[in-house]
Amino acid sequence: MEKQRRVVITGVGMVSPLGTGNEKTWNSLLEGRSGISRITHFDPEGLPCQIAAEVKDFNLDDFIEIKEQKKMDRFIHLGLAAATLAMEDSGLKVTDKNAARIGVIAGAGIGGLASIEKYTEIINTKGHRRVSPFFIPMTIINLTAGQISIRFGVKGPNSAVATACATGTHAIGDAFKLIQRGAADAMICGGSEAVITPLGIAGFASMKALSTRNDAPEKASRPFDVDRDGFVMGEGSGILVLEEMEHAMNRGARIYAEIVGYGLNADAYHITSPAPNGEGATACMGYALTDAGLKPEAVDYINAHGTSTNYGDEIETTAIKNVFGEHAYKLCVSSTKSMIGHLLGASGGVEGAICALSIFNGIVPPTINLDTPDPECDLDYVPHKARKLDINIAMSNSFGFGGTNGCIILKKFDRS
């Protein structure tokens, strides 16, 4: 049997509520800063939830020419910016010779909601002739991948993922498998999202999924805390550059970590609630471990889905204990959503990037606002302060509406 190709991470690009660029986001995570504040994208007065994790320092002109900007919704702007940062970080050069061996998988959970809202108002007030000819390509989910491929001239596998909150993780996992089986030598992959809009906030608020701690935004996202009252909407993008190991080493690339396992499955239970006792999440983590050829005891750190919802955090804790047994109490488990909110389709991309940086730098970001741990959530969630840790194996979890689950496993890179 032919040996499977090894896949490594050589580029990281993050645009998050903590800043544009890897350094800003990473340093703020380690300092335990919150990127959550009162909504400024529109006037939220009258809505039950008036807070979100907005990207505040993003200068569109730094990444996209003015004449091209109007062809894209904000979620594409953010995704293209993160991809540009990831490619710059990787140093990967696209040529006529290698373009067909480099691909893109990038997605979103919802897509161009802001543009849909805008042009719905326009058609209702000014008529159909005022609808932009770019309306469709600025809103459909695959245009992040399309615009990335156009920007860099990559002609390999090109696809989009739309699996709610598991989107970014599924994009990375699918890209990993394409390289592993020889269909590509490098992939640009991850997710983006930008739905902090009146309709987006109202929709999630009507489900009573969002925190209403409007008077203390920085304290609102509090995964695993007994006083959590819902998630906080975030926006941004996380994009990785993956390469086949020899391809990366032959060009002298810096390698952050290796991807060694991927699991995905469905709860087949409910449109929004996770399956009882964490059955789906338990199986998904187990599939990833089997794919990686690892025993549960090998894992050092889990970047949890950890959204700050009452049921979700408890169920994920149960699932981790189902998979890891007594080792669950020896793990570091943290939720970076406590600082950046829930980026929906972008969350898995950003959290995969965070796992890679955690392994590379030997440090675990904290879970902030964990003041009074829920008795049902009794693991080591790295409260308040980052922790130095020699991480050999890290896991990133993403669980989405519709019961769709994703899990990737990263490993410290070792040439042998």
**Catalytic residue numbers, as ranges:** 165, 305, 342
Query: Which runs of E-coded beta strand occur in 194-256?
Result: 236-244
Helix, strand, coil proportions of the chain in percent (round to 5)? 40, 20, 40
Q: Are 12 and 357 in contact (CB under 8 A)?
A: yes
Q: Are 35 and 57 in contact (CB under 8 A)?
A: no
Tokens 């903590």 belong to residue: 18
Q: Are 243 and 103 in contact (CB under 8 A)?
A: no
123 vs 114, 117, 141, 202, 268, CA distance in Å?
14, 10, 22, 21, 39
Whole-number Å distance between alpha carbons of 362 and 257: 11
- As a dihedral over the C-alpha atoms of residue 220, residue 224, residue 228, residue 229, rounded to 10 degrees, the angle is 110
| β-strand pairing of 37-38 with 332-334 | unpaired
Whole-number Å distance between alpha carbons of 62 and 29: 24
- As a dihedral over the C-alpha atoms of residue 305, residue 237, residue 176, residue 320, rounded to 10 degrees, the angle is -10
Whole-number Å distance between alpha carbons of 248 and 185: 9
Within a 10 A sphere around the Cβ of 72, how many other Cβ atoms? Answer: 23
Whole-number Å distance between alpha carbons of 248 and 186: 9
**Alpha helices (runs of H) in 70-163, residue ranges in sequence order:** 74-90, 113-126, 135-139, 143-152
- Asked whether the CA dihedral 28, 32, 37, 41 is positive or negative, the reply is positive
Q: Which helix (H) or strand (E) holds 34?
A: none
Whole-number Å distance between alpha carbons of 87 and 387: 29
